Amino acid sequence: ILVTAAGTEEPLDPVRYLGNRSTGRMGFAVAAEAARRGAQVVLIAGPTHLVTPAGVRRVDVRSARDMYAAVCAAYDGVDAVIKAAAVADYRPVETAAHKIKKSDGELTLALTRNPDILYELGQKKRHQILVGFAAETQNVADYARGKLATKNLDFIVANNVAEKDAGFGVSTNHVQIFYADGRAEDHPLMPKAKLAGVILDRVEAILKQRTVT
Ligand code: C5P
């Protein structure tokens, strides 16, 4: 099982970066639970203070492009990808070699698109089960269903990060799961550790179904 977790850091200069509020808790919980169930787990993690779960092989990365390279290197050998990382959509066009000095007036940053890692995985999907996350602040179902289709996912775990107990930096989550066949499930507020089990139950069910048919 390949799990990605935490945010990415997109460097502006040697001391500054563009980042986001993801702490990595959701992905680390999935990696821990998958290892506990006996899976071989590779956890590709952006910068975080979290401790590596027992039995998990961890690869540390910083930027979205680092994460893309690490994920692609592992992709062929995995049965499922659970992409809990909050990947930066944009990076600075240039990373200054030296610390940017302040001057009077405005400073404008030019940004360019990062690769959409999950979209790329969806394009070259073979046997792999692909699970995405959608952190939204509005129109959760519409955006989540759109991403599910565009990125060629098996299911997507969507949450409204504007809710107090869901999303970044808290130990609970409140999600809906949308499936490629159109089904949707509402789940109650629960600890991320428990949600990790819910997600892995569904991955296991898809794997079992494939073994039978
Ligand atoms: O950022 P977005 O809402 O599109 O994220 C949906 C899913 O796509 C998440 O699972 C996230 O990890 C993944 N993603 C990615 N590469 C990006 C942006 C998002 O893999 N550049």
Question: Which pLDDT tens digit goes with each residue over 139-187?
Answer: 999 999 999 999 999 999 998 888 888 777 788 989 999 999 999 999 9
At residue 92, does pLDDT exceed 80?
yes
User: Using CA atoms, how far apart are residues 1 and 153, in angstroms rounded to an integer?
Assistant: 15
Q: 117 alpha carbon to ligand 1 midpoint, in Å? A: 7
8, 61, 87, best to mutate for ligand 1 pocket (most atoms within 8 Å of CB): 87
Ligand 1 atom closest to the CA of 88, numbered from 1:
21
CA-to-CA dists, residue 132 to 27, 70, 159, angstroms: 11, 17, 11
Q: Within a 13 Å sphere around the CA of 116, how many CA atoms are in the beta-carbon half?
A: 11
Catalytic positions, written as ranges: 20
Can you tell me which atom of ligand 1 is nearest the CA of 89? 21
* pTM, full prediction: 0.95
**77-101 as b/e, with b when 16 or more CB fall inside 10 Å?**
ebebbbbbbbbbeebbeeeeeeeee
Report the separation in Å between the CA atom of 86 and the middle of ligand 1, taken as the mean of its atom positions: 6
The pLDDT of residue 40 is: 98
Q: How many Å lie between the centroid of ligand 1 and the Cα of residue 116?
A: 6
The type of residue at 9 is: E
With a Cβ cut-off of 6 Å, ligand 1 is lined by 64, 83, 85, 87, 89, 114, 116-118, 132-134, 147
- For the cut 90, the answer to whether the pLDDT of residue 198 exceeds it is yes
